[in-house]
């Protein structure tokens, strides 16, 4: 499972950098300042959780496998739901996508809680 989280984390980091560059250059003139901030928030949180996925990959052989695996899946789901919904919201202007974002935030919280549980297990 560690190689999966390392690969997914690296891919997510790559996508995050590309999204950030796209937002800073291609979208700067096309989006309102408010929607540009929304897009940039998605890219920033994607990068935070790309690093968290890398940590899950690196820690998967040292800590309890179950919670680390839960953390990895939670970080991945959170990225899709949180960052993905912010990207779509910013690009489409459809505010209803904002209703999806909190589910991604909850998945991020679950992932961090699972990593905490793994760290505290003996």
Confidence of residue 17 (pLDDT cuts 50, 70, 90): very high
Please report the pLDDT score of residue 63 as a whole number. 87
Q: What's this model's pTM, rounded to 2 decimal places? A: 0.94
pLDDT at 122 over 80: no
Distance (Å) of CA 114 to CA 14, 29, 34, 102, 121: 25, 40, 33, 18, 11
pLDDT single digits (tens) 48-92: 999 999 999 999 888 888 999 999 999 999 999 999 999 999 999
């Amino acid at each position: 499972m560690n190689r999966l989280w390392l690969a997914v984390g690296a891919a997510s980091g790559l996508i995050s950098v590309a999204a950030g560059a796209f937002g800073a250059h291609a979208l700067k003139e096309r989006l309102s300042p408010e929607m540009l901030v929304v897009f940039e928030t998605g890219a920033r949180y994607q990068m935070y959780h790309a690093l968290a996925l890398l940590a899950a990959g690196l820690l998967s052989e040292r800590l309890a496998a179950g919670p680390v695996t839960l953390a990895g899946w939670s970080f991945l789901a959170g990225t899709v739901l949180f960052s993905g919904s912010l990207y779509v919201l910013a690009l489409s202007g459809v505010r209803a996508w904002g209703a999806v974002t909190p589910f991604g935030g909850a998945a991020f919280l679950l992932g961090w809680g699972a990593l905490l549980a793994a760290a505290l297990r003996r």
